[in-house]
Structure formats: C-alpha cells, structure tokens
A = this chain, B = another copy of it.
C-alpha cells in the first residue's frame, strides 16, 4: 500500500491533489463482470479539464506510468479495466461546450453520457443517431474510443460517421485539436478516424465535435417470425431488396426467445413463436423504417411484410407506434433476460458479411453444443453483427473455461466466414491477440507501426489492441 500512497501523492503534487485518488473496487472491475475480470491500479486521476489531462499524461509519460482511460465503464471487452499504472477517468469532463441546432453540430466533452447528449439534442429538435446501448452511463468518449455501434448503425452508421473532429491528448502529453466545426476537411491524414476506435491506446480523446441531424418525421416497425435460420437468412436478404430500406434490422434467435419470448409485448407474437414446430430454431427479425410521412413509411413496411412472407415467415406484423416503443424496451432487456437463465453469459460481438448470418448462427450453436453449453444469439442482422452468447453459471469454473474455449472457436468461425472478431465492442483486454488471425502479417505490422509512432513508450493501454 505504500507504493499506492506514493503515486497518489506524487501525482497529486503534480496536477492537484483533489484530482487524484485511489480507485474503488468497482473502478478496477469489468463492468460486465461475467469473467470476474479484475484489474489493478495505483491511482485514479479525474482531471477537471483537457489541459489537466495533458498535464497528467505528461507526468505519466515522464515517469513511465501506464495509463488506462476510463469512460462510463460499460465496455464489454474490459477496455477500462487497468493492468497497473493509473486509471484516467473522464468523469469530470462532462460539459456540452456548445450546441448549435441551427448548424446541426455540437462540441461535447468526453465524459458526457450518451443519454445526456441525446436529451440535450432532442430538446433542440435534433437527433444524434448512434444508440450503442447503456446510454445512461456510457460516455461519449467511450463511444468514440470503441467506435460504438448499436441497432441504428445499419442505417445511420457507427459513431465515427458522426464525428467532425476531436480534441485529444497525444504522447508525451500534448493537447491537440484535429478537425472542428467544419464539415469537410481533407488537408491532413484522417487522424480523427484513427483515434476513433483506438480504445485509448493511441491517446486520450477529451472532447469531440459531432454532427447532428433532424429526426425522421415518421417511423414504422415491422416484425417477422421465421421458422428457422435459413428462412431468416432469406428474410434478411428481403429486407435489403424489397425497397423498405430499414434503418435498423435486428435479430433474436430461438435461444433468446426461450428467455425473452414469453414477454414479447406484441399481440400474437409470443403465441406464434410457442406454436412453431421447433421454437428453439425460430428467428425473430425486427426492422425499423424511417421516412417522410406516416403513409409512405407504412407502405415501405408493407413491402417488407410481403417480402418476409415470401421468405417463409410464419408470422409478420406492423405494431402500433406505442407497441413499437414497448417493443424497443423489451429488446433492450433481452441481454439481461438471457443472462438470468444461468446467472451469467459470455456474449461476443462478432460480425460477418450479411449473407453469412445463418452460417454464423448455425456454427456458433454447434460450437456451444460441442462444449456442452447453452446458446443464444441476437443482434444487428443488417450489419451481420451478432451477439453469439454462451450461457454459464459464473460460479462454475469448468463452464467458464469451456465458454472461453468456445469463444476462441467462435472468433475463428467469424474470420473463416470473412468477418471480424469485433463488430462493435473492440478488442479491449479480452480479444487482443486475435487481429493477426483476421488481418495478414503485413497489415498487423502496419497497425503496430502506427501504435509505436504515436505511443513510443507503449503506455496507453499497454499490451492492448496490439495484434
């Protein structure tokens, strides 16, 4: 404990004692806690502004102290769990610096939560479309660091698509601004996109200029229940080809419906699911359509219903707007409902080309069977990004090990289908080491060269996102 005290004291002397403390147990843990992943750190720094972040980084860089950046701590790959050194918390950088609705833009500090931003933007009649989940506690800075996705990434793009510029602290402690309120800028290399998705391993994003848009004026939600994954694959294709042009296309498989299907808040849906010959093989697709007018949007919904019926859907429906809203809440609770079955889960975020979703579902279920694990899968079918999930009792170390092995096989499966080990969560602590399977050697060498160029001492998230 003497060492802890020393670092806290020295850092406090350098940047202000009130901004440095010992991290709490919670601040050393994986937010998802399925692994029981716990980190260690000698101090937590919570600077009040970007200049103090730069000061803190400068001190750490001089003293060879590793830095783990922490946003809201809601990451699903352990990216905010420290491995020695200091935790650099963005909790005090929580100001919306500017919001200019008349120009569809704002400047937001990294520690503003997703919901805070969305609420502020909604109040002025605009929309910030990314909806990566955990919005009440996740930070905008964390969203940028992971290039967070979510259901509406299908139509509106991932977080990166909304970032005009960033303020960041780069090694060895320099505050830089790249981009800003200007909407187009090709003067320099796209360092903004490089920092977005870099998971705190190339520097610390302290603020961002974001693009906003007016919200859609009409919305329609459509459901289709498919008897099996092959007909669901046809349903996914139909959503691309029927002209409905959905902005979100979500999938929930039979394993997911096993835990959440009975409470499906749409009249008839739960009954239809339960009366299928094999409910565990069923797949529910849910599409959100946005448009100009209620009638036109409804017509696009009808086109999707027709396409899904042709693809063999057992049941289709376009619920009322109120029912669609309830459905959204139900959808947000699905992950928790599945986890409740055994008390825990290992849920991944692999993504594959959209024509390979059925192969991914079949392959992932087969992996689970081989390891004697229960399986469920749900996610963003329009982007081929599926949360393949192995259920487990967290207190059963045998099943936890099996789930870890199953995840390794799942990563190989996704790569063999032309996909990625991470569609939206990032590598964090849990998936580093898998990039080499996905990229060739020369591409990984370029990746590593960039890391070395921007973080020559390797202090930003040591050992992470390296390969």
Q: Which residues of A contact B (CB under 8 A)?
A: 100-104, 146-147, 149, 153-154, 157-158, 160-161, 170, 174-178, 180-191, 193-194, 196-198, 202, 213-214, 217, 237, 240-241, 243, 245, 291-293, 295-297, 300, 351-355, 380, 382-385, 418-427, 431, 434-435, 438-440, 442-447, 449-454, 465
A77 to chain B, nearest CB (A): 10
Are B454 and A185 neighbours in the complex by a CB distance under 8 Å? Answer: no
A449 to B449, CA, bound (A): 10
A176 touches which of B300, B351, B426, B446 (Cβ 8 Å): B446
* CB < 8 Å neighbour of A182 from B193, B197, B292, B418: B418
Complex interface: chain B residues within 8 A of A240 (CB): 102-104
Interface pair A450/B189, CB less than 8 Å apart = yes
Contacts of A241 in B (CB 8 A): 101-102
In the assembled complex, the Cα of A157 lies from the Cα of B281 at a distance in Å of: 40
- Residues of chain B with a CB closer than 8 A to A425's CB: 186
**Closest residue on chain B to residue A456 by CB atoms:** B449
* B residues in contact with A214, CB < 8 Å: 243, 245
Known contacts: A103-B355, A450-B454. The answer to whether A202 contacts B189 by CB under 8 A is yes
Interchain CA distance A103-B104 in the complex, whole Å: 31
Copies per assembly: 2
Contacts of A161 in B (CB 8 A): 157, 161
Asked if residues A421 and B187 are in contact (CB atoms below 8 Å), the reply is yes
Closest chain B residue to A417 by CB distance? Answer: B182
How distant is the Cα of A187 from the Cα of B382 in the complex, in angstroms?
A: 19
Instruction: Using A180-B353, A214-B243, A292-B293 as known contacts, say yes or no to A186 and B449 having CB atoms under 8 A apart.
Output: no
- Cα–Cα distance between A189 and B465 once the two chains are bound (Å): 8
Whole-angstrom CA separation of A454 from B449 in the bound complex: 7
Contact of A191 among B292, B420, B421, B446 (CB under 8 A): B446
Partner of A292, one of B198, B300, B439: B300
Q: In angstroms, how far is the closest chain B Cβ from the Cβ of A201?
A: 8
Report 6 cross-chain contacts, Cβ distance below 8 Å, ordered by A residue.
A102-B237, A184-B424, A185-B420, A188-B447, A194-B450, A217-B243
User: Closest B-chain residue to A100, C-beta based?
Assistant: B355
Chain B hits for A186, CB < 8 A: 146-147, 149, 158, 197, 420, 422-426
Q: Which of B147, B176, B431 contacts A442 (CB 8 A)?
A: B176
Cα A189 to Cα B450 in complex, Å, equals 9
Q: Nearest Cβ distance between residue A299 and chain B, in whole angstroms?
A: 8
Name which residue of chain B comes closest to A199, CB basis.
B186
B189 touches A198 (CB 8 A): yes
B178-A443 in contact (CB<8A): yes
Given A182-B419, A184-B423, A351-B183, decide whether A447 and B191 contact each other with a Cβ distance below 8 A.
Answer: yes
CB distance from A147 to the nearest CB of B (A): 5
Contact among B103, B175, B180 with A237 in the assembled complex (CB-CB below 8 Å):
B103
With contact pairs A182-B351, A187-B421 given, residues A193 and B453 touching in the complex (Cβ less than 8 Å): no
Smallest beta-carbon distance A194→chain B, Å? 5
Rounded to whole angstroms, the CA-CA distance of A297 and B450 in the bound complex is 46
Query: In angstroms, how far is the closest chain B Cβ from the Cβ of A271?
Result: 32
Q: Is the CB of B447 within 8 A of A183?
A: no
Instruction: For A380, give the chain B residue with the smallest CB separation.
Output: B184
B176 touches A439 (CB 8 A): yes
Name the contact of A452 in the complex, choosing from B382, B439, B453 (C-beta under 8 A): B453
- Kindly provide the distance from the CB of A244 to the nearest chain B CB, expressed in whole angstroms: 9
Measured CB to CB, the closest approach of chain B to A97, in angstroms, equals 14
B421 touches A176 (CB 8 A): no
CA A439 – CA B380 in complex, angstroms?
38
Which residues in B have their C-beta under 8 angstroms from that of A194? 189-190, 193-194, 450
Q: How far is the CA of A102 from the CA of B238 in the complex (A)?
A: 8
Q: How far is the CA of A237 from the CA of B103 in the complex (A)?
A: 7
Is A443 in contact with B384, judged by CB distance below 8 angstroms?
Answer: no
A126 to B178, CA, bound (A): 34
- The answer, among B293, B419, B438, for a CB contact under 8 Å with A296, is B293
Q: Which B residues are CB-close (under 8 A) to A426?
A: 186-187
Residues of B within 8 Å of A385, CB to CB, are: 183-184
Known interface pairs A103-B240, A291-B292, A293-B293; 9 further A-B residue pairs with C-beta atoms within 8 A, sorted by A's residue number: A184-B424, A185-B420, A185-B422, A186-B197, A187-B439, A188-B465, A189-B202, A189-B451, A293-B296
